[in-house]
Structure 1
């Protein structure tokens, strides 16, 4: 795929999220059931070592307690708050993160360092804080869509009266490196400080109010533009965070154009984890759903027949590339790539080549419990 096509597809999606941030965020208010299973995989990796779940599918023993839910494909799970739900395994048990410092690879066993790449409205921060109430969590969300980040959940009556901060990112940890002088400045926002809440709405001041164990911050950065322009190694230096214990990248892989760029993203994710850290990503399997597949095939034909912009050449698309609308509006296009099992194998091999081995993969979420395919890795 030509770089011109890649950039056109990235811009298509960036425009979609900027224009539809509020409506998209309204459909993403509760955690995916697969996150609980991801967290259990991470806990087992840290407590059992390298041999846990090695290359195996999840069995009934580890099945999600929410697999019987009946959400429609593409919708969020039923409206139970994260605090009301019980994880698949009691994370306050003696083998959990809560009681045993040795189960975390972090240099600071009292704090779980979390990096959420393509964080959206940062609902993962609240989910982790509620599922791990006795663990201090230092969370950094990174995304290019500030408007979507600005929809982060705010507790009633706690919305901060503030304006956006444009101060430069604070110096990164010595283990993280610093952004080169010619890199575009990334804005770091401490969401626990009302004076820095972007648009006066990012709720963390509320996240901290709701979850006293959470310190959340947000960095505005176009990861795909960085990867395309500078490569994985240089992009790593632009992210203002120490090496993390847990790296999550959910609901993003399907928006990454070209197999080469998806492999570069995997290399970046691995490079951001500390030794022993866990990398978790999800791939939306929309073409496995008959309804969504029919919509994608119809829009693919429309794009092929009507697109005249040289930068968006339909003949330059790769196998698995599709287009989808939003809700009932098929004039609002999004680029979406379907990662099948063969490509997931290749991504796992890419991770292995740069120092992370697969510990498990599983399907979860949606009415069928197969809407997303998760790949869980552990850095050596």
Structure 2
């Protein structure tokens, strides 16, 4: 993928979260069923990095469950981080949030620490364009894990529900050359707030994302599908970093 195409795709998503942060946040007040399932496995005293934390709904759930470890949530959207900080204003000082763009090549240097026992990355990886960039991001997540640490992630499996085909937009809408895209790249609409917005999404095959994790030196511990009316709109994985 050419750098200019990758930047166009990143800009599509940046503008989405700039224009539609409020309506998006309003739909993310509750955790997805798959996230709730994994929430029960989070130790109460771990140090957790939440990549793409959005409006802090995971942090809120942790606080409500008497989480006593340290939590750092990062997201590129200033509006969503503001929502998260407001929601956790009365929580303990062990919850913190930073505005960090995961598409920035230097995002790792913006973190206050470089080792975490637990990393969550729910519905993030599929917004990163370009095969090599996705591989590099997975490598970065693996690098941030402490030995014996775990990575909990999810990616959308949109077309497990045929109704989602109705949300696919033509690439001509964004003036993107389709010959420069990866297999599995889609432009998806967002219908809320009285207008239609758009987002870039990469729809992974399970084999594709397994290969990324193995190449990053991690061991796959668990995999399942969950979410949506069909119960299979997202693929969840639990990865382990060997000592």
TM-score, length basis structure 1: 0.59
Contact 1:307 1:313 survives alignment (8 Å):
no
Q: Any idea what the Cα deviations from partners look like across 1:159-189, whole Å, max 9, x if unmatched?
A: xxxxxxxxxxxxxxxxxxxxxxxxxxxxxxx
Equivalent residue, structure 2, for 1:23:
23
1:260 aligns with 2:132: yes
Contact 1:282 1:372 survives alignment (8 Å):
yes
- Distance verdict in 2 for CA 1:338–1:330, change over 3 Å: farther
Contact 2:117 2:150 survives alignment (8 Å):
yes
Q: Distance in 2 between matches of 1:315 and 1:147?
A: 34
Q: Distance in 2 between matches of 1:291 and 1:266?
A: 30
Contact 2:191 2:197 survives alignment (8 Å):
no
1:144 aligns with 2:76: yes
Contact 1:324 1:330 survives alignment (8 Å):
no
1:363 aligns with 2:228: no
Q: Distance in 1 between matches of 2:64 and 2:133?
A: 34
Select which of 205, 216, 220 maps to 2:89.
Answer: 205
Structure label with greater radius of gyration: 1
1:128 aligns with 2:62: yes
Within a 5 Å distance, the mapping from 1:140-179 to structure 2 comes to: 140-152=72-84
Say which SS state the counterpart of residue 69 (structure 2) adopts. strand
Contact 2:21 2:80 survives alignment (8 Å):
yes
Select which of 177, 192, 204 maps to 1:339.
Answer: 204
Deviation at 1:307, TM superposition (A): 4.8
Deviation at 1:237, TM superposition (A): 2.9
Structure 1 unaligned blocks of 5 or more: 44-96, 99-110, 153-190, 192-201
Q: Distance in 2 between matches of 1:279 and 1:268?
A: 12
Select which of 79, 91, 97 maps to 1:218.
Answer: 97
- Distance verdict in 2 for CA 1:245–1:369, change over 3 Å: same
> What is the number of equivalent residue pairs in this alignment?
241
Q: Distance in 1 between matches of 2:21 and 2:75?
A: 12
Equivalent residue, structure 2, for 1:323:
187
TM-score, length basis structure 2: 0.91
Q: Distance in 2 between matches of 1:331 and 1:36?
A: 29
Contact 1:279 1:378 survives alignment (8 Å):
yes
- Distance verdict in 2 for CA 1:331–1:204, change over 3 Å: closer
Q: Distance in 2 between matches of 1:333 and 1:32?
A: 21
1:374 aligns with 2:231: no
Deviation at 1:17, TM superposition (A): 0.4
Contact 1:236 1:271 survives alignment (8 Å):
no
Contact 2:159 2:233 survives alignment (8 Å):
no
Q: Distance in 2 between matches of 1:205 and 1:21?
A: 20
1:35 aligns with 2:35: yes
Deviation at 1:278, TM superposition (A): 0.8
Say which SS state the counterpart of residue 225 (structure 1) adopts. coil
Deviation at 1:313, TM superposition (A): 2.4
Contact 1:324 1:333 survives alignment (8 Å):
yes
- Distance verdict in 2 for CA 1:39–1:257, change over 3 Å: same
Q: RMSD in angstroms over aligned alpha carbons?
A: 2.0
- Distance verdict in 2 for CA 1:295–1:36, change over 3 Å: closer
